[in-house]
Amino acid sequence: MMNKQEILEKLPYSVPFLFVDELLTIDENGATGTYTFNKDLDFYKGHFKDHPVTPGVILTETMAQIGLVCLGIYLSGYIDSAASSHVMLTSTAIDFMKPVFPGEKVTVVSEKVYFRFKKLHCKVEMKNEAGDVVCKGTLSGMVTTKLNG
């Protein structure tokens, strides 16, 4: 089974589109990780003028990278450890409760609802450092495997 560092190394993202700093826990039932939104990220320059706020699509992407993709990579080890797995986001249903500002650290917690026929469906929640829920909902994705070589 892959460890947390191996899972992070398999993520198909790089800066500036990598929204995972640390993977705290992962098992067959879910994942927990953190990310701090650097105040110098380019999208803050125009969203919103003079009052930057993290766009909802970026919050959703952060939840997907930590709570769906990392978990999908972990779970795909049960399918075929010789294959390279990718998780493609297929659907989202997210409610936003509070803004996330530049420099804020968030924690994402996902809980697997089901994983069958290579389809992963999760409940996800993002909290700020004060422990307030900033957004929550469900994410789904398909795990695809590509043989190495």
Per-residue pLDDT of the chain (149 residues; tens, 9 = 90+): 788 999 999 899 999 999 999 999 999 999 999 999 999 999 999 999 889 999 999 999 999 999 999 999 999 875 555 456 678 999 999 999 999 999 999 999 999 999 999 999 999 999 999 999 999 999 999 988 665 54
The reported pLDDT for the residue numbered 83 is 54
Please name the amino acid found at residue 28: E
CA angle, corner 123, sides to 47 and 85, nearest 5?
A: 85
HSE at residue 129, side-chain half, CA atoms within 13 A, is 7
- Are 18 and 8 in contact, with CB atoms under 8 Å apart? no
Q: How many helices (H) and strands (E) does the chain have?
A: 3, 6
The token duo for 107 is 């924690």
CB 143, CB 76: distance < 8 Å? yes
Compute the distance between CA of residue 34 and CA of residue 19 in angstroms, rounded to an integer: 8
Q: What is the CATH number of the domain that holds 135?
A: 3.10.129.10
Check 47, 51, 86, 121 and give the catalytic one. Answer: 47
| Annotation says 47 is catalytic | yes
| Domain with 127 in it | 4-147
Across the chain, the runs of DSSP E, i.e. the strands, are: 22-27, 30-36, 83-96, 105-116, 119-128, 133-147
Distance from chain centroid for Cα 3:
17
Coil/strand/helix, residue 122: strand
Beta carbons of 85 and 9 less than 8 angstroms apart: no
pLDDT of residue 149: 46
- The confidence score (pLDDT) of residue 84 equals 64
Domain count, the chain: 1
* pLDDT at residue 34, as a whole number: 98
**Whether the model pTM is above 0.95:** no
